[in-house]
Amino acid sequence: MAGNRLAFLPLDLGRSRELQYVYVDNNTHLKGLPSYLYNKVVGCNGCGAPVQVSEGKLLSFSSGPLTVFLPAEVKAIGTEKDHILPLQELAMRRLHHVYHSLLKDLNFLSPVSLPRSLLELLHCPLGHCHRCSEPMFTIVYPKLFPLRETPMAGLHQGRTTVSFVAYCCSTQCLQTFDLLR
């Protein structure tokens, strides 16, 4: 994926144990790597330069001087102060749980019972919580870990300003997630 003008990576990239190597070198707009990639071999030299283009449609998350753009599918960003999930997120998580654990078949839902956009979202969540693996549908709680503050900093020797991003499903997971443990 090197040299492709990427601004973000899929939230679940790296969740698979089979994926061991990820090379995203020279994607200057890429500032965040999903925390699932932390124990993988990651090439990210030349990433994280200041964004020059307009990213008006993408949500961004900032922590101190760091800003990371999130995938367009993310509709809301939660913070440590947001203790109550939006109703749509709660409903989607409950439906997902019911249909995946009890019925094992999302085709049981007819297109009439849910709007098409929600039915498609139910089939394919945004990603999964990096702490507890709960599916997330409309909101994420991001937490940044600058690469320079991790044991991997020496491998890149200042050639990147990218950060690892943990995507959590709730305030509780956000507060208890620690990449370095």
Q: Is the pLDDT of residue 96 over 50?
A: yes
Cα–Cα distance, 128 to 139 (Å, whole number): 11
What element of type H or E holds 168? strand 163-168
Q: Could you read off the pLDDT of 20-79 as tens digits, one per residue? A: 888 888 888 888 888 888 778 787 777 776 544 454 566 777 777 777 777 777 888 998
| Domain ranges across the chain | 87-128
What is the DSSP secondary-structure string of 120-141? HHHHS-SEE-TTT--EESSEEE
Q: Is the pLDDT of residue 90 over 80?
A: yes
> What percent of the chain is predicted at pLDDT more than 70?
80
What element of type H or E holds 49? none
pTM: 0.72
